[in-house]
Amino acid sequence: MYKKLIFEISKPGRKGYTLPENDVPKKQVDDLLPEKYLRQSPPQLPEVSENEVVRHYVNISIHNHHIDKGFYPLGSCTMKYNPKVNEVTAAMPGFRNTHPHTPEQFSQGSLELMYDLAGLLTEISGMESTSLQPAAGAQGELTGLLMIRAYHDKQGKPRKKIIVPDSSHGTNPASVTIAGYQSVNVKSNENGTVDLDDLAKVIDEDVAGLMLTNPNTLGIFEDQIIKIQKMMHDAGALMYMDGANLNALLGIVRPGDMGFDCVHFNLHKTFSTPHGGGGPGSGPVAVSERLEPFLPKPRVIKENGQYRFNYDYPDSIGKVHSFYGNFGMLVRAYTYIRMHGPAELRAISENAIINANYLLSKLRDHFELPYDSPVMHEFVVSASRQKAKGARAVDIAKRLLDYGFHAPTIYFPLIVKEALMIEPTETETKETLDEFADALIKINEEIDTDKDTVLTSPHKTPVKRLDDAKAAKEINVCYNG
């Protein structure tokens, strides 16, 4: 049948497109597709052998940097190793071959996994309930804000503003705007945490909530969090936690216990599912009792030992994703959580914190530290001393590529000049951290002895230094090597 299909498809002309029996009736396809859109000649497909195809992709993969190839300390992104066992479970036929329209009685295993994963995330976050639908952290943010809006509307007191600290991730004010709220900035104090005096000034009865990352984007834990949540709740406003940094908190402290009403998870960060070019992402949201009625629907429920989708939530904000979210990612995250268990989940965060502090201890004499507080899973140093000698953060980042490392995040958070934001994650060895620190120390020496090499780097990558503005406008991702 396969052969027959290929043969027929490759025949020229619309008459060649014979569909197999029991599929969409041919007549219907002809009605749907106007003549002018139908191909009149066979497509020009390249004639290549499997060998050539494999070499093509292997070559592309080694020209790129990725977590399977080397250290990837991209601050804020938690580029931890993606265990291959996740791929094995996600590819199990019972999961992989299940169509979203499969009747519930034939997809009990998939439903059970979703039910259990939502329960695990609820437990990990100390919340009341979880939706697995959002497809990214940023979409989780929007989902959370829409629920906060629905909450205030339901109380009959619509509000207009959301407070966002100046150290927040760019997606926070963007989500606030997309949700139709006005974003109000609050300053950080000299410790790099929220300035409570400034916060008190901006709270009023138009404030619907506060969006906070904890630990924040400087890698510093908001130690006034209990006071902050009290200030907000006393004013009738809700607490949203950007949970992208949850890799610092697993099994140690829970967003629900800190007084948050909503938190999103980045399964593609904390729970080891692929991201970047390897996505798609997944950004479930967990909520407190206050927001529980407004969660997206459907939710998976268990009744008489059977799992089913329940749509009966009159106050729900509705659907935020087609079907039920990025299911393959849910399988991977579930695998990761079950494989580790509670004690090891805590060890993940403890090791992420130890690795970040170890690396910081090796670098603290070589860079300026804008906020010299103990850090959680990531830290930010400033290259302002290096800039005074003529090499900026971007030059250091580019030179690191020559040493075989991915660059850290640079120029973020915005409150630190010449920022280098470094997140090693728990999956790296001491040897790798040592090599990375040595490379940065060596680059510092090069700035003194051989600055041009640094300023014109990278020298060893397939693509040399690009004009960033031009490269962003005239994207060329072809591989011709």
Interface residues with ligand PLP (CB under 6 A)? 76-77, 136-138, 169, 171, 213, 217, 242, 244-245, 266, 281, 283
Burial pattern 351-380, b for ≥16 Cβ within 10 A else e, equals bbbebbbbbbeebeebbbbbbebebbbbbb
Cα separation, 456 vs 463, whole angstroms: 12
Report the residue number, 173 or 259, with the smaller CB distance to ligand PLP.
Answer: 173
Smallest gap, in angstroms, from Cβ of residue 217 to ligand PLP?
6
Q: Can you say how many angstroms the Cα of residue 316 is from the centroid of all Cα atoms in its chain? A: 25
Q: What DSSP element (H or E) covers 171?
A: helix 171-178
109 sits in which H/E element: helix 108-125
Question: Cβ of residue 81: shortest distance to ligand PLP, in angstroms?
Answer: 17
Decide: 265 and 246 in contact? Cβ < 8 Å: yes
The residue (of 77 and 419) whose beta carbon lies closer to ligand PLP is 77
Closer residue to ligand PLP in complex, CB, 58/414: 414
Nearest residue to 430 (alpha-carbon basis) of 359, 339, 340 = 359
Question: Minimum CB separation from ligand PLP for residue 104, in Å?
Answer: 29
- Rounded Cα distance, 471 and 147, in Å: 38
Contact by Cβ (8 Å): 99, 106:
no
> 165: closest CA among 414, 420, 418?
414
**Closer CB to ligand PLP, residue 170 or residue 374?**
170
Least separation in angstroms between CB 357 and ligand PLP: 19
- Start-to-end CA distance of the chain, whole Å, equals 38
Q: Considering beta carbons, is residue 77 or 232 the nearer one to ligand PLP?
A: 77
Nearest residue by C-beta to ligand PLP? 137
Given phi > 0 = left and psi -120 to 50 = alpha, else beta, which region is 411?
left
Task: Count CB-CB contacts under 10 A for residue 32.
Answer: 9
Locus of tokens 């080891």: 272
Q: Quick one: which of 316, 333, 210, 322 has its CA closest to 266?
A: 333
Distance CA(255)–CA(229), nearest Å, equals: 11
Q: Quote the least distance from Cβ 211 to ligand PLP, whole Å.
A: 9
Q: Which CB, 193 or 245, lies closer to ligand PLP? A: 245
Contact 270, 249 (CB under 8 A): no
Residue whose CB is less far from ligand PLP, 244 or 437: 244
By beta-carbon proximity to ligand PLP, the closer residue of 294 and 412 is 412
**E strand map for 188-305:** 207-213, 238-242, 262-264, 285-287, 299-303
Q: How far is the CB of 264 from ligand PLP (least distance, A)?
A: 8
Minimum distance from residue 85 beta carbon to ligand PLP (Å): 23
Give min distance, CB of 169 to ligand PLP, in A. Answer: 3
Closest to ligand PLP by CB, 119 vs 279, is 279
Nearer to ligand PLP, 142 or 232 (CB): 142
Closest approach of ligand PLP to the CB of residue 230, in Å: 23
Least separation in angstroms between residue 243's CB and ligand PLP is 8
